[in-house]
Amino acid sequence: ITNEYTLKNNTRTFYIEVIDARSKVLILGGAPHPDISALKEVLDENENIESESVLLKDWNKTLDRVNLVIWHEPGINFDPSILSLIQSKKIPLFYIIGPNTSSAIISKLNIGITAAQGNQTDDFQGTINSAFAAFEISEKVEDAVNFFPPLKSKFGNVKTSGNTEVLLYQRIGQIKKKEPLLFFQQTNNLRFGVLYGEGLWRWKLNDFVRSGNHEAFTDLFSKTINYLLVKQQGAGLRVEFQKRFTIDEEVIVNASFYNSSLEPITKPQIEMKIVAENGKVYRSQFGVMGSAFKLSLGKLKAGKYKWFAKTAYDGKTYNKQGVFVVEDIQIEKSETTANHGMLKQLAKQSNGKFLLLKEYETLLKTIENRDDIATVSYEETAFNDLMDYVSIFLILFLFLGGEWFLRRWLGGY
């Protein structure tokens, strides 16, 4: 473009992260149920998840690339070999246990709960556990849960083990019970979840009737599923490194080290190496912060960087590596058009006036007509002795003395 003001906003550098694989979720059910369809729709909305739903009688017992199994009513056509197969592959499970799953089957699942005997059923609503901190619960979900209709499950008290993370407690009317409705546990570095009731499709329908969408329902179960999909780390080095920074951000890295008992320790020294695109290498060492480690790399120039973390403990070496980018943000150069709306707002807030360049005559008249703008001049007269200016006095003395000497010398006197 002729007479273009700046050329620096004609190009922009983008960094694209390519995810090499999606998580695969398998939904198993002993019989068709609308709960399965409701969860399948939640999974299908997430582009990073590949989902499949199948009945037990039609399943070929293949778990290739499966990262999570959702098992709806495991008590229907229960097959112990299926449970053994899933557990042998160390795949996390999300159980939806309704009235068709007996107490005997629940005990075989080894999920850390004890349910009452008998075939009686009961209806439970849910209430958020305010102490739950595994992931964030939005206000929209908190509000929606209060209106979700009851789920149907087995009658009687439910007892859980001490390491249970409860997201929802049972509620009957306004009475909040101590028994969990939706909770998580972890065994052998594998996390599993349990929803103690069937009929969650009614929650989705209720969400739509109340708000005209399924956002609260989708948010609740998307986060539940994502939480179960997170791969649990064992002993060793763990590094938390943000993947994107800007040039005005301080690059901070957090790390931790766990012994064989999964206790955080700070005895090992963790070294960090950063390699820039131009090959320049930065080396640093993590500092101890409580029971973990922290490292500040300061502000870095724009570009792509590789990082390598290394430590040794108990005769073993532990390594972690990854990539991060620092982006250059030049807002002024990317937007060269004056924002008149913002300028007018600033003028109004400061009791000023917004005018275009062609309206300069109006500007001059406005200034002339304002009473608070007037020319102010001050006159000040001062006298100083010549003796106060020694250098000037000496120069004059030399000139006068020189003139007298020359006249005397040349016979002028």
60 and 85 Cβ atoms separated by less than 8 Å: no
Look at residue 14 and tell me whether its pLDDT is greater than 70: no
Q: Tokens 């649990």 correspond to what residue?
A: 232
**Residues near 361 by beta carbon (within 8 Å), at least 6 away in sequence:** none
Q: What is the pTM of this model?
A: 0.57
- What mean pLDDT, rounded, does the chain reach? 85
pLDDT of residue 278: 92
Look at residue 233 and tell me whether its pLDDT is greater than 90: no
143 and 216 Cβ atoms separated by less than 8 Å: yes
**How do the domains of the chain map onto residue ranges?**
23-229, 236-327, 355-413
pLDDT of residue 118: 66
Q: For residue 182, which of 219, 143, 221 has the smallest C-alpha distance? A: 221
Look at residue 105 and tell me whether its pLDDT is greater than 80: yes
| pLDDT higher at 154 or 280 | 280
Distance in angstroms (rounded) separating the CA atoms of residues 117 and 334 = 69
Distance in angstroms (rounded) separating the CA atoms of residues 134 and 117 = 32
pLDDT digit string, tens, across residues 302-329: 999 999 999 999 889 999 999 999 988 7
Look at residue 152 and tell me whether its pLDDT is greater than 70: yes
**What is the three-class DSSP state of 123?**
strand
- Region 253-261 average pLDDT: 86
pLDDT of residue 122: 84
Q: What is the DSSP string of 11-22?
A: ------PPP---
| pLDDT higher at 59 or 18 | 59
Burial 256-268 (b: 16+ CB within 10 A, else e): bbbeeeeeeebeb
| pLDDT higher at 96 or 358 | 96
pLDDT digit string, tens, across residues 166-182: 999 999 888 888 889 99
Lowest mean pLDDT segment, chosen from 68-82, 100-114, 262-276, 361-375: 361-375
Angle subtended at Cα 95 by Cα 90 and Cα 96, rounded to the nearest 5 degrees = 165
Look at residue 160 and tell me whether its pLDDT is greater than 90: no
User: What is the token pair recorded at 66?
Assistant: 């499966």
Of 3.30.930.10, 3.40.50.2300, 2.60.40.2550, 2.40.50.140, the CATH number of 236-327 is 2.60.40.2550
pLDDT of residue 4: 57
Q: What's the CATH code, domain 23-229?
A: 3.40.50.880
Distance in angstroms (rounded) separating the CA atoms of residues 260 and 258 = 7
| pLDDT higher at 46 or 334 | 46
264 and 257 Cβ atoms separated by less than 8 Å: yes
Question: Exposed, middle or buried: residue 182 (CB in 10 Å: 0-12, 13-18, 19+)?
Answer: buried
Q: β-strand 165-172 against 121-128: which pairing, if any?
A: antiparallel
Length, in residues, of the chain = 413
Distance in angstroms (rounded) separating the CA atoms of residues 353 and 359 = 12
Element (H, E) at 323: strand 316-327
pLDDT digit string, tens, across residues 37-72: 999 999 999 888 999 999 999 999 899 889 999 999
**What is the three-class DSSP state of 199?**
coil
Q: β-strand 151-154 against 303-313: which pairing, if any?
A: unpaired
Q: β-strand 303-313 against 316-327: which pairing, if any?
A: antiparallel
Lowest mean pLDDT segment, chosen from 127-141, 158-172, 362-376: 362-376
Look at residue 281 and tell me whether its pLDDT is greater than 80: yes
- Region 197-204 average pLDDT: 95
The pLDDT > 90 percentage for the chain reads 45
Distance in angstroms (rounded) separating the CA atoms of residues 260 and 232 = 14
User: What is the token pair recorded at 147?
Assistant: 């209106």
